[in-house]
Chain A
């Protein structure tokens, strides 16, 4: 890849992605459009180069590695039913339906079956990225998508084995990796050996290696080790003919419990983002518009066929697996496209003589188009379909809110995290009845171990606050870390329970402005208190008397609070705001100077400090 090409890729991404995000279309579509624009069909600045595509696929590998890091083996074990059951039925169902249609349109059973198997695959990269961007990965629909995609990754292996049996030609050498020439039993043994080796290495070898590398305290060596691991896995998997993404996923799961998890995530995240972006661009660039222009009817029929067949089958499966309608449509739409494996499998099938070029070419274009269509389907789902289900999908994984017994606690505390639990403990220590709502199950479990009771539930829901006794309470304390969530809750409480006095945690100065404008009087910026405490300690550490240091901090806080209150009204008028902000800076300074003059200057008539020498 030349420097100029990199420049073009980056430029296209930087222009197209923010634009697409602004329009609410998501980053994936932005990248795809960027790819189409710079690709051979439009500007032709870059080719649909194989070489770039290979690098870009690392993005997918890294994404799976990162997802693996998030999934502890125990969690994966809990997903075994959806992975095997839902995933297996998805591949089976789509294969049968698509093959049936192909059969009806006059193909032989062998190519028909091959097409069925191929279009059953979906795009891990596009689906997971789109779900993650919408915070929907943890929903039951998101978990189901993930399970199916994982099964597809595994299913590629037997599909690669089946395709040659359907064909007439010879398998092209090298397609199966370096073990292609081994007898089948040895090949199977090598494949199993590679996976077992990976699991064992992940369990017992990687941690000491990372510990050794981390001990150097050189950040870049750690990053190098991480990249080395991912690329190494990719090579190993390629050698035994397995999906590199699957291998990376397994390695990620093995490291999910390790103390290096967060470091690994932080190191890989930018690479993943970049390469995944590149991957989407190459998909966009790979869309063959000349072919589409030549046979628009056929391509349109293929794209519609793929999307509709997959949607219908997947919708049925989701309902079968007892997902609600809202989740079912999300699941069915999310997976209703061909994936990156389709390209590989189509090329492989052509090489094996199963499918001719006259089928492979339009199918490849149709798969690419269906991938490009996916972000649009997500938008359609967000804006139209979900509206039909009355309520938007909840952002957090669904769990029924806890039953809250009737009581007359004067305080409702939303959020029992780092900030909230301090407030809560203070109140509880003073025997104030406090109903605590928290939406992180892990936090609730942790607190329960220390004898603190919090109820699981989403405080943005008025019915839940009713159950929590909001009608009889006096104070509503909101300590959530999420700015928008806080504003949402505050507005709802003001509307539904106007008698409650609201005390709110502000995450930032900007957030404090918004809360004040929303009519909240008691706004507490989360860092100010401790920062001033530290400042007092610093002043005292330098020899200032405690009472002076404390007074200086209190005065600082008063002036600062007053300025926040006043500046809150200048939002939107940016020049006015800037002027005000400068004035307030000057004001604070002058007040502090006055204060320090009052306290420091000697010779004040009220004191005996002036040295005298009669």
Chain B
């Protein structure tokens, strides 16, 4: 879709945000439920629950690519699983980010868009550093996502991280969810909406 058409539908300076949410056991995660609830139904935001839409991992490439075309910001929201994302998000990347669409010759559908990783981790911030139990920083571990964004010509934003989720009180969970909503809101704009 070209830029002019988009501008007719939406006020100028508002970006449209696509949240690709991946959690295979949502009923077991307080924080991800809270985060999901916080951003669902927001104006300008499409919340796309990958495991619910594709429980058998049979991802529709066409539908996903169309969604990407219709949005300006792509958010990968997921828990940190084995220093990466849950399986469906990898499958999504493998299938949807085709040559000729996301990269390679004529693959400029994502050029100029932005990408954000919004993740939750069980371990605390202190674990993600040299000398910590996870040795690497979160930013380092997310290098594959960052490089994916780069190859697709996207801007990779500073990740949104909620860490040490086991230790959070219910009140803190609510506060973190609100912080997440605010972060998404700022992506939508108006001030953050300028491409």
| A→B interface (CB under 8 Å) | 545-550, 599-600, 602, 604, 606-609, 611-614
Cβ-closest 5 pairs across A and B: A546-B55, A608-B165, A607-B28, A547-B55, A550-B55
| Given A545-B52, A546-B52, A550-B55: A608 in contact with B170 (beta carbons within 8 A) | no
Let me know if B28 and A611 touch, CB within 8 A. no
Q: Is B168 an interface residue (CB 8 A)?
A: yes
Let me know if A546 and B168 touch, CB within 8 A. no
Contacts of A609 in B (CB 8 A): 27-30
Let me know if B170 and A545 touch, CB within 8 A. no
Contact with A along B28-43 (1 / 0, CB 8 A): 1111000000000000
Let me know if A613 and B55 touch, CB within 8 A. no
A-B contact pairs, 10 of them (CB 8 A): A546-B53, A546-B55, A547-B52, A550-B55, A599-B27, A608-B30, A608-B168, A609-B30, A611-B170, A612-B167
In whole angstroms, how far apart are the Cα atoms of A548 and B51 in the complex?
10
In whole angstroms, how far apart are the Cα atoms of A17 and B53 in the complex?
58
Give me 5 other A-B pairs in contact (C-beta within 8 A), A545-B26, A613-B169 excluded.
A546-B51, A546-B54, A548-B25, A608-B28, A608-B29
Contacts of A611 in B (CB 8 A): 30, 170
Contacts of B56 in A (CB 8 A): 550
In whole angstroms, how far apart are the Cα atoms of A604 and B51 in the complex?
21
Residue of A nearest to B55 (CB): A546
| Given A550-B55, A608-B122: A614 in contact with B169 (beta carbons within 8 A) | yes
Return A603 CB to nearest CB of chain B, in Å.
9
In whole angstroms, how far apart are the Cα atoms of A602 and B33 in the complex?
14
Let me know if B168 and A607 touch, CB within 8 A. no
In whole angstroms, how far apart are the Cα atoms of A612 and B169 in the complex?
5
Return A93 CB to nearest CB of chain B, in Å.
70
Residue of A nearest to B54 (CB): A546
Contacts of A545 in B (CB 8 A): 25-27, 51-52, 55
Q: Is B24 an interface residue (CB 8 A)?
A: yes
Contacts of B120 in A (CB 8 A): 608
Let me know if B28 and A612 touch, CB within 8 A. no
Contacts of A549 in B (CB 8 A): 55
Contacts of B170 in A (CB 8 A): 611-613
In whole angstroms, how far apart are the Cα atoms of A545 and B29 in the complex?
13
Residue of B nearest to A603 (CB): B28
Contacts of B168 in A (CB 8 A): 608, 612
Q: Is the interface of B mostly helix, strand, loop or mixed?
A: helix
Q: Is B83 an interface residue (CB 8 A)?
A: no
- Give chain B interface residues in 40-63, CB to chain A under 8 Å: 51-56
Return B188 CB to nearest CB of chain A, in Å.
27
| B→A interface (CB under 8 Å) | 24-31, 51-56, 120, 122, 165-170
In whole angstroms, how far apart are the Cα atoms of A600 and B27 in the complex?
8
Q: Is the interface of A mostly helix, strand, loop or mixed?
A: loop
Let me know if A604 and B167 touch, CB within 8 A. no
Q: A607, A613, A614: which contacts B25 (Cβ < 8 A)?
A: A607
Contacts of B166 in A (CB 8 A): 608, 612
Q: Which of A547, A549, A609 has the most CB of B within 10 A?
A: A547
Let me know if A602 and B55 touch, CB within 8 A. no
In whole angstroms, how far apart are the Cα atoms of A608 and B165 in the complex?
6
In whole angstroms, how far apart are the Cα atoms of A223 and B44 in the complex?
63
In whole angstroms, how far apart are the Cα atoms of A609 and B170 in the complex?
10
Return A432 CB to nearest CB of chain B, in Å.
20
Q: Which of A604, A606, A608, A611 has the most CB of B within 10 A?
A: A608
In whole angstroms, how far apart are the Cα atoms of A614 and B166 in the complex?
12
In whole angstroms, how far apart are the Cα atoms of A547 and B29 in the complex?
15
Contacts of B27 in A (CB 8 A): 545, 548, 599-600, 609
Q: B24, B28, B167: which contacts A602 (Cβ < 8 A)?
A: B28
Return B22 CB to nearest CB of chain A, in Å.
10
Contacts of B28 in A (CB 8 A): 602, 604, 607-609
In whole angstroms, how far apart are the Cα atoms of A608 and B176 in the complex?
14
Return B33 CB to nearest CB of chain A, in Å.
9
Residue of B nearest to A611 (CB): B170
In whole angstroms, how far apart are the Cα atoms of A612 and B25 in the complex?
19
Residue of A nearest to B53 (CB): A546
In whole angstroms, how far apart are the Cα atoms of A614 and B28 in the complex?
20
Return B65 CB to nearest CB of chain A, in Å.
22
Contacts of B52 in A (CB 8 A): 545-547
Residue of A nearest to B31 (CB): A608
Return A598 CB to nearest CB of chain B, in Å.
10
Return B122 CB to nearest CB of chain A, in Å.
7
Contacts of B26 in A (CB 8 A): 545
Return B90 CB to nearest CB of chain A, in Å.
15
Return A461 CB to nearest CB of chain B, in Å.
40
Return A168 CB to nearest CB of chain B, in Å.
89
Residue of B nearest to A607 (CB): B28
Q: Which of A545, A549, A604 has the most CB of B within 10 A?
A: A545
In whole angstroms, how far apart are the Cα atoms of A599 and B168 in the complex?
22
Return B47 CB to nearest CB of chain A, in Å.
15
Residue of B nearest to A551 (CB): B55
Residue of A nearest to B120 (CB): A608
Contacts of A546 in B (CB 8 A): 51-55
Residue of A nearest to B162 (CB): A608
Residue of B nearest to A536 (CB): B55
Return A610 CB to nearest CB of chain B, in Å.
8
Q: B30, B51, B169: which contacts A547 (Cβ < 8 A)?
A: B51
